């Protein structure tokens, strides 16, 4: 449904956009100027299960983006809907040197896994951009921090950071379709809140004792400062 705000933004966009292939200007995921441009998607079915023959690792699986589903974004003119086309990441994901980390909150210093180290796998499936990190270390502070929050449903969304390589506005400038994106040196992230509410994820945990509680407490205290 076209709201008055969407219609007004589209009218301004149509007057100031040179051609429909132009990328959104000041693209972001919230109305506030300076908000991140990364697309965020809700997780569901979060679980903790053992991974590995000896149950000593965690496995995270999810979707950082769902294709062919509209979600709201903002540019310099106002709100619009955005859709990622099926197969939009194929060229980027096929790179032999693909380097993408799985991180917390788009913080590049809080990496859980990485494609270049063989600990993160990204593929396009029937739903969108599938994320799998099969050997997370439960003793890693960031893994220990996020695992119980995923299990409790306190955190249940993902996001991915990328560069738009090709896209096009609809004739009325209310919708932008991303036809090709580059995720090399971007990221896939576990985040708090998001714009696109359509993905699913799970995390598997060994049956062994939980990571050192004192280390986890110290980490959470540091994060709260």
Q: What is the model's pLDDT at position 199?
A: 47
Q: What is the model's pLDDT at position 211?
A: 43
Residue 89 belongs to domain spanning: 4-224
Only one residue has tokens 């300076």, namely: 34
Q: What is the model's pLDDT at position 155?
A: 87
Q: What is the model's pLDDT at position 192?
A: 84
189's tokens: 């992230």
Confidence (pTM): 0.82
Which class for 97: exposed (0-12), middle (13-18), buried (19 or more C-beta within 10 A)? exposed
Q: What is the model's pLDDT at position 153?
A: 83
CA distance 163 to 181: 6
> What residues are paired with 106 via a beta bridge?
none
Q: What is the model's pLDDT at position 2?
A: 83
Domain count, the chain: 1
State the first-to-last Cα distance of the chain, in angstroms, to the nearest integer. 42
Task: Find out whether 192 and 37 touch, Cβ atoms under 8 Å.
Answer: no
Q: What is the model's pLDDT at position 53?
A: 64
pLDDT average per 10 residues of sequence, the chain (225 residues):
93 97 94 80 57 77 91 95 97 98 95 97 94 93 93 86 97 98 96 58 46 38 36
Give 92's Cβ-side CA count (13 Å radius): 25
Q: What is the model's pLDDT at position 7?
A: 97
Q: What is the model's pLDDT at position 163?
A: 96
Largest CA distance in the chain: 62
35's tokens: 């908000």
| Closest alpha carbon to 31 in 74, 86, 87 | 74
Q: How many helices (H) and strands (E) does the chain have?
A: 4, 11
Q: What is the model's pLDDT at position 219?
A: 35
Q: How many CB atoms lie within 10 A of CB 19?
A: 7
DSSP for 85-120? Answer: PTTTTHHHHT-TT---EEEETTEEEEEEEEGGGTS-
Q: Which stretches does DSSP call E strand in the chain? A: 39-42, 58-66, 71-75, 78-84, 101-104, 107-114, 121-124, 128-136, 157-169, 175-191, 202-204
């Amino acid at each position: 449904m076209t709201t008055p705000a969407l219609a007004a933004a589209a009218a301004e966009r149509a007057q100031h956009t040179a051609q429909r292939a132009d990328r959104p200007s000041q693209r972001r995921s919230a109305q506030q100027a300076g908000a991140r441009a990364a697309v965020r998607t809700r997780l569901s079915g979060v679980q903790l299960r053992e991974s590995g023959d000896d149950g000593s690792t965690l496995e995270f699986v999810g979707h950082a983006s769902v294709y062919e589903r509209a979600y709201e974004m903002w540019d310099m003119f106002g709100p619009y809907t955005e859709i990622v086309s099926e197969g939009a990441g194929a060229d980027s994901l096929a790179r032999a040197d693909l380097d993408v980390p799985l991180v917390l909150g788009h913080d590049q210093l809080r990496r859980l896994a990485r494609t270049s180290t063989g600990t993160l796998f990204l593929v396009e499936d029937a739903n969108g951009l599938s994320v799998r990190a099969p050997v997370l270390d439960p003793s890693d502070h960031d893994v220990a921090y996020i695992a119980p929050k995923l299990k409790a449903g306190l955190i249940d969304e993902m996001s991915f950071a990328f560069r738009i390589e090709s896209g096009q506005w609809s004739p009325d400038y209310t919708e932008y379709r991303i036809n090709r994106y580059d995720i090399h040196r971007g990221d896939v992230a576990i985040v708090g809140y998001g714009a696109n509410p359509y993905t699913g994820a799970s995390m598997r945990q060994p049956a062994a004792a939980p990571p050192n509680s004192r280390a986890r407490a110290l980490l959470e205290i540091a994060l709260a400062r």
